[in-house]
Amino acid sequence: MFVGHLGAGLLLQAIKRRLNFGGRFLVVILALGPGSSGVGVAGTFVVFGPKDYRTASGKPKTSTDTFSVLNPLETYTLLVYNGGLLQRFDRATLASVTLNGAQVVGGSECSSKVAVVPKTVTLAASNRLEVVVQGWKSSGVTIKIIGVDKDPLIIKPTLDPAPNDAGWNNTNVTIRFDCSDATSGVATCPRPVTVTKEGAGQVVSGTASDRTGTTSGASVRLSIDRTPPQIAAGID
């Protein structure tokens, strides 16, 4: 889903729809015009994992991993699934998790009586995760860290070459899409599109997506005329 920005060249028409989803309201704005950039809506994404951590022949086992995030200013949630995501293992009798030198899960928080341990955590740009699992040789846990992307997914088209002051080109035009997302990152961004056909008001659209699955669309309008002007001369 995306919400289009109303640019200066857009027609002064917008349709607002208010939909009720389980008590929450969603406003959708649809705009028509010569060009627009798109901004996506927030969603959740996986920062780390899910990764399994198992005991070694019934003995405590320590494992270390590293990972990075684009936006350490957001709040993230660490989830410890005792017995694994689908309870494929025996539950660990004890498990501890240390993040960037600080213990975030430990003691009786993750015992054999506990299925899931959720923890709100603060991350750095680069992170170090240390996991210790104790229990039977078939024991294990799964760890996953998720985040909420509240930054917009932005897609903006540009024309190359730029049109003249009247909005026309006299050569082929390549449309390039610039996509950015400061938190989850861009998953897909449209490839450049080259328009060779002559004509006025041709519309080219593209859609981007981020790692939350949020999509955002944008379009641009262009006009091409490669035909030289003709002058008809007459003799009086």
- Reported as a pLDDT band with limits 50, 70 and 90, residue 137 is confident
What is the rounded average pLDDT of the residues 32-55? Answer: 73
Q: Which residues pair with 160 in a beta bridge?
A: 174
The C-alpha atoms of residue 124 and residue 70 are separated, in whole angstroms, by 9
Q: What is the pLDDT of residue 43?
A: 86
Give tens-digit pLDDT for 59-112.
Answer: 788 999 999 999 999 999 999 999 999 898 999 999 999 999 999 999 789 988
pLDDT computed for residue 65 by the predictor: 98
Predicted pLDDT at 41 = 53
Q: Cβ contacts of residue 228 below 8 Å, gap of 6+?
A: none
| pLDDT tens sequence across 184-230 | 999 999 999 999 999 999 999 999 999 999 999 999 999 999 988 77
Q: Please give the structure tokens belonging to residue 65.
A: 């991993």
Which tens digits make up the pLDDT trace of 148-172? 999 999 999 999 999 999 999 999 9
Does the pLDDT at position 33 exceed 60? no
- Average pLDDT estimate for 118-123: 97
Say whether pLDDT at 126 is over 80: yes
Give the pLDDT confidence score for residue 154 in this predicted structure. Answer: 96
How many CB atoms within 10 Å of residue 37? 19
Report how far apart, in Å, the C-alpha atoms of 4 and of each of 75, 149, 150, 204 are.
27, 18, 17, 15
- CA 26, CA 20: separation in Å to the nearest integer? 7
- The CATH number of the structural domain formed by 44-149 is 2.60.120.260
